[in-house]
Amino acid sequence: MARAATTSDAFNAIAEPQRRDILVLLRGGERPVTELARDLGMTQPQASKHLRVLREVGLVKVREAGKQRLYGLDARGLRPIHEWVGGFEQFWNESFDRLDDYVRELKQAHQEGPDHGDDEQ
């Protein structure tokens, strides 16, 4: 089965680490492409290409502000990812519960353990 085009869905779009970095920066608010490029150490054309992909899958919105275009996070586009990851929440919770139980057992065994010969003569 052929891999979907990068612009077809949010999963493929965020597979690129630099796009995830852009989303992290946009959590703090709208930013122009020049700032994003500078903060990520890439050229403006590279940043623009990533922003175009993120816009096409609904993760980023753009707003005209005078001569500037401001890019902002559109978190609604992350819903499919959130829902998919959320399906693993029960697994993680059960795993952490088992780990907590194991740590408690280890602590209890340590407290009930021998005195290492301190009282023996």
Q: Tell me the torsion sign for CA atoms 48, 53, 56, 60.
A: negative
Q: Are the beta carbons of 55 and 62 closer than 8 angstroms?
A: yes
Query: What average pLDDT does the segment 42-66 reach?
Result: 96
Q: Are the beta carbons of 13 and 6 closer than 8 angstroms?
A: yes
The secondary element (H helix, E strand) that includes residue 99 is helix 89-112
> How would residue 118 be classed by pLDDT, with cut points 50, 70 and 90?
low
Which of 82, 18, 8 is CA-nearest to residue 48?
18
pLDDT tens for residues 61-75? 999 999 999 999 999
Instruction: For residues 25 and 42, give the distance between their C-alpha atoms in angstroms, rounded to a whole number.
Output: 14
> How would residue 1 be classed by pLDDT, with cut points 50, 70 and 90?
very low
